[in-house]
Structure 1
Amino acid sequence: MRYRSTRGDGSEDYSFEQALFSGYAPDGGLFVPASLPQLAAVEHLIPWSRLTFPELCYEILRLFISQNEISNIDLREICYKSLSAEDFDDDNIVPIKKMGSVFVAELFHGPTFCFKDLGMRPVINLLSHFAKIRNQATTLLVATTGDTGPAAVRAVGDASNPLLTILVHYPHGQISEFQRKSLTTVDSKCVRIVSFEGGGDDMDSPIKQTLLNCNDSDGADKKRSFCGVNSYNIGRPLVQMVHFIWIYLRVAKKLGITPGDENIKIDVVLPTGAMGNMTGGYMAKQMGIPIGRLCAGVNINDITKRVIETGLFQKKKIQKTLSDAINIEVPYNFERILFYLTNGNASLVKQWMETMEQTQMLRLNPSWHHKLQADFQSARITDDETCRALRQTLETYHYVVDPHTAVAIAAADRLGYSVFDERSENENPVVVLATASPCKFQEAVTAALGPDGWKQYRQTSFPSRAQQTLEMRENEPHHFCWIEGATLSEVQSDWRKKMLDIVDKHF
């Protein structure tokens, strides 16, 4: 399997290792597989329905990674190490529960209590595998709005590879106390944490510039390789396909559907930020998984809803919300969505993304907009509506969810899936993705349920591992200040210099 850029003409292709380590493609686009294998019911889906989660992960990744790059034995070991039942508090890794007429897929049973563990741990272990083969120091550069960073930090620690280090940046005051402590309580020479003043997307440009400037095609002749593991890295959506396929197979079994039956599609509603998870689902659909509509639940930072509803993809300043992990100005994975939407028309995607980068705005013509609407829906959920959904879920099902899952639940109800009764307006079964544990979001849960509601949750359902994190001593993070009177570009240039200084001094 080879890889190409969403903006390339296809004349240049890359190995999986090159794509994984580069993060962004040299032309500024995102890597995608040169082709997507098509999954058949008899050959793939029916046998896969009997596999464990790590076994399914192996089978899917084997389709995308040449045996010349990673042997069967090594890839199997990576999958089992990444998704060991010892590190998850449910043996199924992703259990599926029924909530009225809706299925709920719990993606948060990993070490850092969010779905990012499912994608991040295999990606980190793949990077660690190649770093050992290269015998090359590799530093991961990460910007996080709350969940990506802790998952990456924990995975790097568990990889126990001195060649692999990580520098994580988070927006000061814009993540929960638990998320912050999940970063600042890690005591490792391989880890450094930075808080920065600004919006959640403001570190994306310094990191992207560093990755494009400091890496050549494979980094093999350099003393240090830099790599990004946010969801622009192709490893993330590839691995996140696994839980979409797992969810489809498990829901199909519960409904008595033969895997691969095209007559019954399953819709998915998920809280959506950078669209990495959405991209994993869309790629799975493109490969033949009978997924119906992919429905994005967004908060008031609603660029995804606006482009699906109006065809206008326009950047706006981020506003603080109770669901901060999906706060986004520009979801970079929309580029991959457009690539598959246009059947791989990289020339058109390049034109669109250059327009977006130059003007902060892109308008899809009616034909492409209608095609987007055929596969995607979205609903915008305010903080008040998030709290209402959280309360109603508890009152109706005695089930406490985090604010991001509450956004998805409210979106599902808004889109006619009737979460709280049996009168769904949609023909297809629906799955809501529960992407994080409520243990991480005291402020939001308290806002919805009141102090007594949070106290009750703490007494009856709070994970013991989470309590241990809260009790640990924090290490003071580095801090990047905003330069008074400076432009965003000037601030980002200063932050990039400081970021590289930290790498030089500490790694």
Structure 2
Amino acid sequence: MRYTSTRNRTISCTFEEAICSGYAPDGGLFVPETLPAVSVATLKEWAKLDFAQLAQTVLRLFVSESEVSAQELSQIVTYEGFAPPVIPIQRVGSLYVAELFHGPTFCFKDLGMRAVVRFLSLFATKRRQRMTLLVSTTGDTGPAAVQAVSDARNPWLTILVHYPAGQISSFQRKQLTTTDSPHVHVVAFEGGGDDMDRPIKNMLKSAPSSSHWTGVNSYNIGRPLMQMIHYIWTYLRVAGQEEWEIGQQTLDIILPTGAMGNLAGGYMAKKMGIPLGKLCSGVNVNDITHRVMQTGAFHSSPFMLKTLSEAINIQIPYNFERILFYLTEQDDQLVREWMTQVETTQKLDLSTEWLEQLQQVFDSARISDKAMCTTTRQVWKEHHYLMDPHTAVAMGAAETLGYSGKIAAVFATASPCKFEESVTMAVGKDTWDMFAQSDQFPATARAMLLRNERPPTIYRNDRSLSLYENQRKWEEQARQIIATFENDA
């Protein structure tokens, strides 16, 4: 399997080159040159596999043995720290809830991030070349990446992670600032959730020849490849519990959506022939995904609004580019025109024709903080099931879109243990305290909360400068930090 760019299909590279690059050289996103078709017979065989076996089997379709041996792949795709079956499927009313958060940092990012970091660690070691990972996080990506790098303990691998000051939960912040690893550097920047995206993209396009920098946010092809797996797993588990004949019925999925990486993984799985129906996004008031799915207007908002579901606060979800690539049947020229327009104007208006095609696959609902809290409280009262705010956004979207009383799956993307403030606002302090003292609150989470924080580096927002000028300044600060990393090596 080789990889190409969403903006130029003449580009062709190996899996190693794609995952180690982050962005494609033309600024597009890497995608497989082809998506392998999965037959019903194959799905029936996959239904017999445990999660690790399924992950290895699916990834082998995209990673040749000449690049990653069978032994190496089995070591990369392991799920230590996850209790079997890795992703439990819970019944909540008529809906199935796929709990994707039972990893080391209590969020779904662990499912993909640990394997991506291990791939990068493997390639850095083989090359004997120092690799620096650049990350910007709105809450969960950063802790998952930091934990994975810390656990790798590879002297060839370091990470520089950025988070928007005051815009992630205190638990998520502590996951970053209590990490004790020489391979990790943490920065808080005074800006909106995706204001570091441009500086990081600039850096990845212009890394010095003596260094290797890459990103592990969901623009990295490794992320959606790994995220396809939990769609396949969820379909097969629900089909089994419902006693469906595999391939005869489709399953709609409702998920909280930020940068659309998880959504892109689902669309790729659907394109391969996995029997998925509608892919439905739950979003908060930072609702560009909802607006484009309902009206075709992909317009960045001038301000990022603070919410109780901060991890999905996004103004420009970069994986929309992959969705457009597959929506247009891989029309790289059209995608290039569209994304050039987005980068120039921060706006794209889909024609009625393309909007109708988008709506054949996708749906969405916008859930306010108030509605999210109401949903959290209602589900707790009726089913004694406690959700984090992002899962509650998806559950609220399911209700808004008419899934009450119907069979569908909701992705639970994080443990409620990470969001004391919002969960308490929804269900009250007594219920939070009961949860916090119960066996459902992970013991490793309690231990983390007791560790001392290390103050992060701060990128200041100079209000006399434009956002672009501040971003240029932050980019230079990041380059200086990496230079210090590399000089200390």
Q: TM-score, normalized by length of structure 1?
A: 0.94
Q: Which residue of 2 aligns with 1:352?
A: 338
Which residue, out of 46, 52, 55, partners 1:54?
Answer: 52
**Residue 280 of structure 2 corresponds to residue 295 of structure 1:** yes
Distance 1:50 1:224 in 2: 44
Which residue, out of 462, 474, 478, partners 1:495?
Answer: 474
Distance 2:4 2:400 in 1: 38
Q: Which residue of 2 aligns with 1:258?
A: 245
Structure 2 matches for 1:75-474, cutoff 5 A?
75-80=73-78, 83-84=79-80, 87-88=81-82, 90-214=83-207, 222-261=209-248, 264-316=249-301, 317-418=303-404, 422=405, 424=406, 429-460=407-438, 461-474=440-453
Q: Which residue of 1 aligns with 2:17?
A: 18
Report the alpha carbon displacement of residue 169 of structure 1 after superposing the two structures with TM.
0.2
Q: Which runs of 4+ in 1 moved over 4 A?
A: none
1:65 partner SS:
coil
2:154 partner SS:
coil
2:11 partner SS:
coil
Which residue, out of 67, 71, 74, partners 2:72?
Answer: 74
Higher alpha-carbon deviation: 479-488 or 336-345: 479-488
RMSD across aligned positions (CA): 0.9
- State whether residues 23 and 227 of structure 1, in contact with CA within 8 Å, keep that contact through their aligned partners in structure 2: yes
Partner deviation per Cα, 1:404-457 (whole Å, 9 max, x = no partner): 000000000000011xxx3x4xxxx30000000000001101111122221121
Partner deviation per Cα, 1:298-357 (whole Å, 9 max, x = no partner): 000000000000011000021000000000000000000000000000000010111111
Distance 2:191 2:153 in 1: 32
Partner deviation per Cα, 1:456-499 (whole Å, 9 max, x = no partner): 21122321111011000111110000012101111011101100
2:437 partner SS:
helix
1:11 partner SS:
strand
Distance 2:274 2:245 in 1: 12
Q: Which residue of 1 aligns with 2:34?
A: 35
- State whether residues 137 and 223 of structure 1, in contact with CA within 8 Å, keep that contact through their aligned partners in structure 2: no
Partner deviation per Cα, 1:336-387 (whole Å, 9 max, x = no partner): 0000000000000010111111111100011110000000000000000000
The amino acid across from 2:243 in the alignment is: G
The amino acid across from 1:142 in the alignment is: V
2:385 partner SS:
coil
1:170 partner SS:
strand
Partner deviation per Cα, 1:154-198 (whole Å, 9 max, x = no partner): 011111211000000000000001000000000110000000001
Partner deviation per Cα, 1:9-42 (whole Å, 9 max, x = no partner): x222011011101101111100000000000121
Distance 1:91 1:473 in 2: 31
- State whether residues 92 and 385 of structure 2, in contact with CA within 8 Å, keep that contact through their aligned partners in structure 1: no
1:214 partner SS:
coil
State, as a whole percentage, how many aligned pairs show the same letter. 54
Q: TM-score, normalized by length of structure 2?
A: 0.98
Distance 2:236 2:45 in 1: 10
Report the alpha carbon displacement of residue 151 of structure 1 after superposing the two structures with TM.
0.2
**Residue 445 of structure 2 corresponds to residue 478 of structure 1:** no
Distance 1:121 1:223 in 2: 26
Distance 1:273 1:96 in 2: 23
- State whether residues 136 and 223 of structure 1, in contact with CA within 8 Å, keep that contact through their aligned partners in structure 2: no
Partner deviation per Cα, 1:374-405 (whole Å, 9 max, x = no partner): 00000000000000000001000001100000
Distance 2:346 2:475 in 1: 22
Partner deviation per Cα, 1:75-95 (whole Å, 9 max, x = no partner): 122112xx22xx11x310001
Report the alpha carbon displacement of residue 47 of structure 1 after superposing the two structures with TM.
1.1
Q: Which residue of 2 aligns with 1:218?
A: none
Report the alpha carbon displacement of residue 52 of structure 1 after superposing the two structures with TM.
1.1
**Gap regions ≥5 residues in structure 1:** 216-221
Report the alpha carbon displacement of residue 259 of structure 1 after superposing the two structures with TM.
2.3
Report the alpha carbon displacement of residue 260 of structure 1 after superposing the two structures with TM.
2.5
Distance 1:504 1:214 in 2: 11
